[in-house]
Structure 1
Amino acid sequence: MEETAKPESKKTEDYTMGMGKVNLIAVLLAFPITAVILYPFVLVWGYETFKAGKEAFDDYFLLVLIAGILVHELLHGLTWGYFANNGFKSIRFGVKWKFLTPYCHCKEPLKVKHYKIGAAMPLIIMGIIPSIIGFVIGHGGVLAFGIFFTWAAGGDIIALFMLWKLDNNIYVSDHPDKMGFVLEFE
């Protein structure tokens, strides 16, 4: 009787974190994020300028929050969909209701460099750029927007740290249930 060779299975390594832990770390990141962005603004423009702008931001907070969540996840989806072989057919959106955490999931592997770009896009577009603009023009409301959406990218910042040392040209798969990704290798 001839022995059939078993197909070699790929080995995987999870780079994931539970949503509870991600949310806790993201909350802790809010303090240094705020300090790094707010302190220079207050030195240059004064706290009253920030306070006046933040009060205007607060007036529209619920609208900004809802629209911002949608745009944040859409930025992930548009970017990952651009790089995915099957395009936007590979993108899925949802909410982890237990943690009140919206998400965007790519159903196919992406190169690390493309995954990083998609992970960073909301942080850059909604957090860093508005923070810089708010600082340059001395507008506390724009700065508050940038700070808030930098906080909102806490999970993305964690994912970027997890991706940091990986080769940009290897493929990772977005984990379907946890925050993070799976590295497949032979």
Structure 2
Amino acid sequence: MKSKKENKDFNRVQADLKANGFREKDVIIPSGKAMVLGIVYALPFVITLGLLYRFLLIERAHLSEVGGLSFYIMFIAIIAISVVIHELLHGIGWAISSGKGWKVVRFNINAMMPSCACKVALKKKSYLTGVLAPFVILGLGSILFVFVYPGTVSLLTLMVNFIAAGADLLIAVNVLREGNCLIADHPTEAGYIAFYKSSNV
């Protein structure tokens, strides 16, 4: 049901743009590749900040015992809260940058995980605002958290938020390589569709 609704939203956008002389270019990233490359894109931030934590903050860190039920409950809670806020920030970014509010944003639950997509094609800058909102806001927030309260909780929060933003960085790098176009979320795959006015795609 949800995939039909997603395709219907995209088909409407696609038809409107084609009627106005746009041609489309699909940029699909296989899920496995997106996961691996997302981690690669996130690693420089995780490693750099991890080293700063190790050499500057470890002396005053609030450390928790690694392992045991309480640790795993804490870790799962960090992931769950971070993912929800991550997807909400995507939506807020697109709602604001599009100038059209929440009506352009779609929230879904897939495999018990929340996700967010933009239902309209946006200019590159507006699209990137939504894509990078979690990286910027949660990233800066995590760095501030780990410096104010260094320890197991803040370090795990930092790692989760930057790794979760890795795929967003991958998408953003690809979008920045595009020319003058509109960008729409791909309705069923990881990636996006670039709509070009000219025939040079």
Scaled to the shorter chain, the TM-score interval is: 0.7 to 0.9
Q: Kindly tell me: are residues 34 and 8 of structure 1, through their superposed partners in 2, closer, same or farther at Cα, counting changes over 3 Å?
A: closer
Q: Which of 18, 26, 38 pairs up with 1:14?
A: 26
Asked whether the equivalents of residues 94 and 126 of structure 2 are also in contact (C-alpha less than 8 Å), the reply is yes
Aligned-partner SS, 2:63: helix
Q: Which of 53, 59, 69 pairs up with 2:83?
A: 69
Q: Verify: 1:89 aligned to 2:107, yes or no.
A: no
Asked whether the equivalents of residues 37 and 147 of structure 1 are also in contact (C-alpha less than 8 Å), the reply is no
- Length-normalised TM-score, structure 2: 0.73
Asked whether the equivalents of residues 82 and 160 of structure 2 are also in contact (C-alpha less than 8 Å), the reply is no
Cα deviation code 1:49-85 (max 9, x no counterpart): 5571685976522222222211111110111022335
Q: Which of 172, 175, 183 pairs up with 1:172?
A: 183
Q: Which of 190, 194, 199 pairs up with 1:183?
A: 194
Cα deviation code 1:71-105 (max 9, x no counterpart): 111110111022335421121122443xx764211
Cα deviation code 1:125-145 (max 9, x no counterpart): 22233224413x361232331
Alignment length (residue pairs): 175
- Unaligned stretches of 5+ in structure 1? 1-6
- Give distance in 1, aligned partners of 2:124 and 2:65: 37
Pick 1 or 2: higher relative contact order, CA cutoff 8 A, min separation 6: 2
> How far 1:38 moved relative to its partner?
0.3
Asked whether the equivalents of residues 131 and 144 of structure 1 are also in contact (C-alpha less than 8 Å), the reply is no
Asked whether the equivalents of residues 84 and 110 of structure 1 are also in contact (C-alpha less than 8 Å), the reply is yes
RMSD (Å), alpha carbons: 2.8
- Length-normalised TM-score, structure 1: 0.78
Aligned-partner SS, 2:127: helix
Aligned-partner SS, 1:177: coil
Q: Kindly tell me: are residues 54 and 17 of structure 1, through their superposed partners in 2, closer, same or farther at Cα, counting changes over 3 Å?
A: farther
Q: Which of 121, 126, 131 pairs up with 1:119?
A: 131
For 1:126, give the aligned amino acid. Answer: L
> How far 1:183 moved relative to its partner?
1.1
- Give distance in 1, aligned partners of 2:125 and 2:174: 13
Partner of 2:13: none
Q: Verify: 1:52 aligned to 2:69, yes or no.
A: no
Percent sequence identity is 25
Partner of 2:50: 38
- Unaligned stretches of 5+ in structure 2? 1-18
Where in structure 1 do 4 or more consecutive aligned residues deviate above 3 Å? Answer: 27-33, 48-51, 53-59
